[in-house]
Structure 1
Amino acid sequence: MIAAAPREPVEPPRVVREIAGGSPVHAVWENELGGMTFRIESAAEVRFVKWSPPGLSLSPEVERLRWAAKYAVVPRVLDHGSDSTGEWMVTAGLPGRSAVDDRWIAEPGTAVRAIGSGLRALHETVPVADCPFDWSAEVRTTVARRKAAAGSIDQADWPPELPRVASIEEALDVLADAPPVDRAVVCHGDACAPNTLIGDDGRFAGHVDLGGLGVADRWADLAIATMATRWNYGPGWEGALLDAYGISPDQDRTTYYRLLWYLAD
């Protein structure tokens, strides 16, 4: 499966129902590993509960959100816990709708401009010198080598955007020769379209799903954000996103960081 909004009814886990306390619960997202996000809306507030099955920890995201909230528009963590059935994180709702909401799918030009400007705001605002999290090519290449040794990388799953290499070993050799850093920033870590929120005015409203946030070359985010425009809006929108960010295309860095994404993340 791929990450998407559920199309069929979902029975929330017991802990999510308990957190809701009788308020309506709606499943809004399901990831590839079985994690779910639920929206709880009452007269007083909107909350989201992110739930993960055992073995898929939310602690890294909790830590990053609490740190990043000092500088960027991200969800405020209200609660975090775990039991034998899984782990959960409760956050306060933010204004706006996901960039893959039906409204923005119908207005891709508006959506990609919001994604590009939102990434620029994140990269300009969050201080690199104070960031305790590392998402560099060096760290992620080590992860990729560990995954390859465990046999958990399947080259058959790679999309056509990636460079054609003969083997996983050859791909790892490519990763070992990282391009010079263009500009180090605090990256989102998963800059796919669903993780940008857009306000009713069509402007960037916030970022969600920051479990990978950390310092890296800004192209680590831009390579994935542009690639994701094809998945969600069709071909032809990469340039508009880069224009909104305020940068010219860089094919070498884009190719490198897309390959790193598929091997390490």
Structure 2
Amino acid sequence: MIQTLAQSLDGVENLSGFAEVSQSPIGRNNNSNPVTFIQIWNKVRKLFADLPEAKRLQLTAGHFSFNSDGACPECGGSGRMAIFPGAAMKIYKTCEECKGSRYNETALKVRYKGKTISDVLDLQVSEAVTFFQEHKGIISTLEVMERIGMGYMTLGQPTSTMSGGESQRLKLAKEIGKKRKGNILYVMDEPTTGLSLYDTAQLIALLDELVSNGNSVLVIEHNHEVLACCDWLIELGPEGGSGGGNVMATGSPQDLLDNPVSITGKYLIRKGKERSGVMT
């Protein structure tokens, strides 16, 4: 029997906060990257500014920013130069002055564990977790990124080049990194987009932890691995677009398994027998 959607929401008074984690683009600015978005770049720049060589050269945190005093004077910190072969055409080439590092020579004289500030931007998230292991304030959110399948991403990758799935997982890492005390409702739209089976399992484990810590997770998802791990499912259908929008079945994965109206239930048979859900 097809049901209509409810028009009210009960239990809002039990929530202390709300976090929407969508796949919308983070930004089109080429200067925006993962470490600026998750707000740890200031900590990295301060770490460099506190080094003995930086103090000897009288450098501040601003000298380790490619948007400020540390910028290459030729390209202005972009690492590339624009060429206009025609009135309506624009192409880019690597800046010959800084060789794409984005920084001036003075900023690149300072090294931490043998790496310049530009080298740090080239580190993958997994590498950075090890590189900054003594600095918990820097790696805490990076560790979350690694757990949800973003260990391959470089710290300096422009956010404008990220896919919708990558943008969403970066937003999720930032939200989890805030370490809220619980009773937060997290709403996500297909967070497994682009993930391997291994990374999907890692993401499920992380969402399990959110729920175990007193939060709620509402996921819009088609991935059967995720659906089989939920506490409660709401199946919409019977088709997509104009042919859908009705509640076909509700309940636990086992409930949908036993519901002859459910289209999803038959795909949850194996998983439904393996475990009960932990997400709400």
TM-score by length of 1: 0.25
Q: Which structure shows the bigger proportion of residues in strand conformation?
A: 1
The structure with more radius of gyration: 2
TM-score by length of 2: 0.24
